[in-house]
A and B are shown apart, each in its own frame.
Chain A
Amino acid sequence: MNEDELDQLVRRARPGFQPRAEAKARLHRSLVQKLAVGGTVLASSRTGWASVATKVLLGVGGLSVVATAWILKPAPTARSRNAVTPPDTALGTAPRTVVSGPDLLEQPTAVGTSAPPTPTAVQKTARAATKSDSLLAEESALLLDARSALRAGKPSAALALLLSYESRFERGVLRQEVQGTRILALCDLGRVAEAKRGSKEFMKRWPNSPIAARLSMSCVAGGSGRAE
């Protein structure tokens, strides 16, 4: 299913990675200032005002401090009027942003330049897509049931559903979400040691997962297995 979708997304995203037109000049000015303060002046901006005394006082050490403080600056959290934050998320609490507007993964409207696929290839792709979509729907339904049970205060029922997921979908696409939900269910059951072990494995396997934020607010927080 996803081969074309991925290529489409890549094609659409490529120009979006370009820096804004003004960024180059803006950052250059900023660099000029920082290097002047740090004791080195770019040839392009060599002027009389960057005094020798400033260079000696601040030096390269000063530059490192400035650079470190600057890199640790927290990211802005401004919200856009084009964005809405839904109340629910993959695991229930972490806020997410959804962009209104056209689906970024929708089918292309323009015809590409590559040769059209043969009818057999199309049929095979369609069959594979249908099969994987239906499996994903099953996985998704099972996970939703488990999450509902967890929210209804039935962690044992949630855990049972998650166990059945593991036996049915050995290579399931949603296994990351399943493991996250399993850890939360273990927390609710007071099985903290097991939850912490699970969390350690989870962080090792998916260190960049958005679910990590949710786990960090559960019983595994604090001596947990955040792999850093």
Chain B
Amino acid sequence: MYGATLEPLRSDMSDSDERAGTGLSFEAVYEQHFDFVWRTMRYMGVPESSVDDAVQEAFLVVHRRLHEFEGRASIQTWLFSIVHNIARFQRRTLQRRTRHITTLDQHELEEIPSGPGGPFDAAQARQAASLLSELLKEVDDDKRALFALIELEQMSMQDACGVLGVNIHTASSRLRRARRQLQDAIRRYKARQKWREV
């Protein structure tokens, strides 16, 4: 039902939408980086049921502040810092509001999305993403961000260091610790699964 593309909407874009000296327009940032912002929200612990709101909030900030972006860092670095702040706020809000926490996000299981590998593969991928999101909650913020950019976003170590503003030694050590924390989380998850069978 939301099948409309963005093309007709962008057709009357004017020069005044280009901000600052970077030549970037809001529409271009939205078009090119929407998927990155969405995925990063998910990596940083925003459940799929709240990700629409969080992504909109991020783009409202982008719209408001794009003129301040000077292009010294990459646009992804700038977007990541916005996502990081909103995700942290969302998590705190949800933590206060929901006193019971589900292992998997129920909302996203409602529809079975279609994907390139068929509906079953797509549903499995969403379930795996939900599980990984839950496990990632047990990893400290800074390590989670690095793990997500390198392992999920498949950035090079150098690019991820640029986005997060850390040096390569710190990044390597964080990545190792993130993996260790996730491995522990997997073991705990499996133990809990076994308890349910008892």
Contacts and interface: CB of A to CB of B under 8 A. Distances in A.
Contacts of A26: 2, 52
Interface string B97-130: 1111111101101100101010000101111111
Interface of A: 1-3, 5-6, 9-10, 12-20, 22-32, 34-35, 40, 42-46, 60, 63, 67, 70-80, 82-83, 86, 88-90, 94-99, 101-102, 104-105, 132, 136, 139-140, 144, 173-174, 176-177, 206, 208-210, 212-213, 216-217, 228
Contacts of B57: 67, 70-71
B17 to A, nearest CB: 4
- Would you call the interface of chain B mostly helix, strand, loop, or mixed? helix
Interface in B174-188: 179, 182-184, 186-188
B101 A210 contact: yes
Interface stretch (B33-41, B75-83, B155-163, B164-172): B33-41
Which bracket fits the contact residues of B?
35 or more
A208 B137 contact: yes
12 contacts: A13-B131, A18-B39, A22-B3, A30-B52, A45-B9, A79-B106, A86-B196, A97-B104, A97-B106, A98-B193, A173-B191, A206-B138
A72 B30 CA distance: 23
Contacts of B99: 213, 216-217
Contacts of B107: 75-76, 78
A10 B132 contact: yes
B186 A105 contact: yes
Top 9 nearest A-B pairs (CB, nearest first) are A16-B129, A16-B125, A80-B109, A2-B183, A22-B2, A44-B9, A12-B128, A26-B2, A13-B128
B179 A174 contact: no
Nearest to B105: A97
B22 interface: no
